[in-house]
Amino acid sequence: MTDLFGDLPQAQASTSASRPTRREGREAPRPLADRLRPQHLSEVVGQEHLTGPDGALSRMLASRSLGSMIFWGPPGTGKTTVARLLAGEVDFAFEQISAIFSGVADLKKVFEAARLRRQNGRTTLLFVDEIHRFNRAQQDSFLPVMEDGTVVLVGATTENPSFELNAALLSRSRVLVFQSLGPEALGALLTRAEAAEGRALPVDEAGRELLLRLADGDGRAVLSLAEEVWRAAKPEEVFGAEGLRQVVQRRAPLYDKSQDGHYNLISALHKAVRGSDPDAALYYLCRMLDAGEDPLYLGRRMVRMASEDIGLADPQALVITNAAKDAYDYLGSPEGELALAEAVVYLATAPKSNAVYKAFKAAQRAAKEHGSLLPPKHILNAPTKLMKAEGYSSGYIYDHDTPDAFSGQDYFPTEMGRQTFYRPTGRGLEAQIGRRLDHWARLRTERGG
């Protein structure tokens, strides 16, 4: 045998060769989350609405009838684990692919293997992680093998299936919603981890509560954070909340600026403003800023809120939100973010009115429905003799020459008749505007306008 150690003395070579190399040594320990992966459905925490005695999955297993499903929920809630356990419960072959790393060729291989198993009397449960990443044509390729029973498809997605999956695929599947893990479920995982490790987590009560919050509803994350704490702790050291912040890596908030997280939070911010709750509005503003949302996008949305939900009840709202957007554009982060916070509080505490919003929508409908009607001739200019002969500008009354600077004339097309779109509320400045409109309506009636 060739001596791999060259000219080293034989004894030294023997000693060196006996040491395990990285390739020849023992397998590196698996992450805690992988070691604690449930072996039975009863061990899955936080999804009792699915796995409990009356849960949807329990009922399916009881009937021994497993159909195709879409698992929709945040990361770390057990979607992959449950799919694997289901296959074991009904003795299906388990195949797993990821839409991120797989293409058409991979799907063909999986389908062909499933067909061979079916010929031998065994069904395949095909678990597709991140199924929303497949394009429409790729999603359609599942339909034939689902319909003929070649596979039972279980797709997992963190995105809303209604928007991300084909209608045909959804019509052949049952959507099951996995919930973010609450403090009780996350706490149960920590207790399970402590039992497996044979030692308590070195944190006090405040530190434990913070750890649960940092996990953000993700079971895999809470176990990973626990591992970080165990690795960082010195003998006899116990971390409080402040000490814990120094040793664990802060998780990025669960947020995708182009998907559900984005739309859910901007909707929450808008509704908190509309509902006159400045504290909730500030909270959602900070959630989005913390997640890395573009502050100028938030500024633009606040301009919309000022127009839609406050309007003329407080016209300053639009001025202030525009100023806040410009202030952030000028100052940047973090200084400019305070201007956005000021605008959010102003919007939330301002009197509310959607009267202009409703009037605009009504006027849009009227403009589409009534077509290209000519305005009444008395309000049309007549720069030529022909136009004057046609009656343009005839009978027009200059409002400033009338009492109250109000002529009461009708400005709508004759065929359309007078319309009322704007109906001010009795809140804020609109109360005053309403009184003014009522006064003009009386004058119009008196003057026959």
The CATH number assigned to the domain holding 435 equals: 1.10.3710.10
pLDDT tens-digit series, residues 249-302: 655 555 555 556 678 889 999 999 999 999 999 999 998 998 888 899 999 999
> Are residues 392 and 431 both part of a single domain?
yes
**For tokens 């319909």, what's the residue?**
147
> Are residues 401 and 329 both part of a single domain?
no
Mean pLDDT taken over the chain: 87
Q: Quick one: DSSP state of residue 307?
A: I
Residue 22: inside a domain, yes or no?
no
Q: Name the domain boundary from 296, 329, 349.
A: 349
Residue 419: inside a domain, yes or no?
yes
> Are residues 309 and 413 both part of a single domain?
no
Q: Is the pLDDT of residue 236 over 80?
A: yes
> Are residues 302 and 376 both part of a single domain?
no
Residue 309: inside a domain, yes or no?
yes
> Are residues 163 and 71 both part of a single domain?
yes
pLDDT tens-digit series, residues 245-264: 888 865 555 555 555 667 88
Give the pLDDT score at 42: 87
Sign, CA torsion 255/257/260/263 = positive
> Are residues 311 and 270 both part of a single domain?
yes
Give the pLDDT score at 7: 39
pLDDT tens-digit series, residues 368-389: 888 888 898 888 888 888 888 8
**For tokens 């003799």, what's the residue?**
385
Confidence grade of residue 25 (pLDDT, cut at 50, 70, 90): low
Residue 166: inside a domain, yes or no?
yes
Q: Is the pLDDT of residue 241 over 80?
A: yes
Give the pLDDT score at 428: 93
The CATH number assigned to the domain holding 141 equals: 3.40.50.300
Q: What is the mean pLDDT of residues 24-31?
A: 68
Distance in angstroms (rounded) separating the CA atoms of residues 94 and 336: 53
Q: How far is CA 186 from the centre of its chain?
A: 22
Q: What is the mean pLDDT of residues 150-156?
A: 94
> Are residues 341 and 376 both part of a single domain?
no
> Are residues 62 and 144 both part of a single domain?
yes
Residue 17: inside a domain, yes or no?
no
pLDDT tens-digit series, residues 74-90: 899 999 999 999 999 99
User: How many folded domains does the chain comprise?
Assistant: 3
> Are residues 272 and 393 both part of a single domain?
no
Query: 8: helix, coil or strand?
Result: coil
Residue 122: inside a domain, yes or no?
yes
> Are residues 294 and 360 both part of a single domain?
no
Give the pLDDT score at 359: 94
- For residues 208 and 241, the answer to whether their CB atoms sit within 8 Å is no
Q: Name the domain boundary from 293, 326, 349.
A: 349
Listed in sequence order, the residues at least 6 apart from 218 whose beta carbon sits closer than 8 Å to its beta carbon are 74, 75, 76, 77, 180, 181, 251, 254
> Are residues 57 and 95 both part of a single domain?
yes
> Are residues 368 and 286 both part of a single domain?
no
Least confident of 29-38, 202-211, 253-262: 253-262
- Tell me which of 23 and 407 has the higher pLDDT: 407
Residue 82: inside a domain, yes or no?
yes
The CATH number assigned to the domain holding 278 equals: 1.20.272.10
Q: Name the domain boundary from 349, 364, 395.
A: 349
Distance in angstroms (rounded) separating the CA atoms of residues 420 and 413: 14
Which structural domain range is residue 295 located in? Answer: 260-349
Residue 104: inside a domain, yes or no?
yes
Give the pLDDT score at 296: 92
